[in-house]
Amino acid sequence: MTEYSDPIVIDEFRTLAASILHIETGTIDIDKPLNEAGMNSIEIIDFIRQVERRYNIQIQPEKLTDFTLAGIAAAVPVSARG
């Protein structure tokens, strides 16, 4: 698992991903690439844009070592995590 795993942020990400994928929140593995979980590239971009709006940040592509929930959560700066 990625080092950072703030449970509040991860829960929000799981809820958002589940709504995009139309699946149960508990079925989402935070370490599984979003494309393997069933998201296409447009849905992944939509997910990241929603995260950026929610946290009022801009995630630089080079900050994303992988497109997993845990990886994206690690790209959210501590100052934006509330």
Helix (H) or strand (E) run with residue 37 in it:
helix 34-37
CB 73 within 8 A of CB 5: yes
Phi, psi of 30 (to 5 degrees): -70, -15
- The pLDDT score that the predictor gives to residue 59 is 83
Neighbours of 67 (CB within 10 A): 18
- What is the mean pLDDT for each group of 10 consecutive residues in the chain (82 residues)? 68 94 92 91 91 89 76 81 70
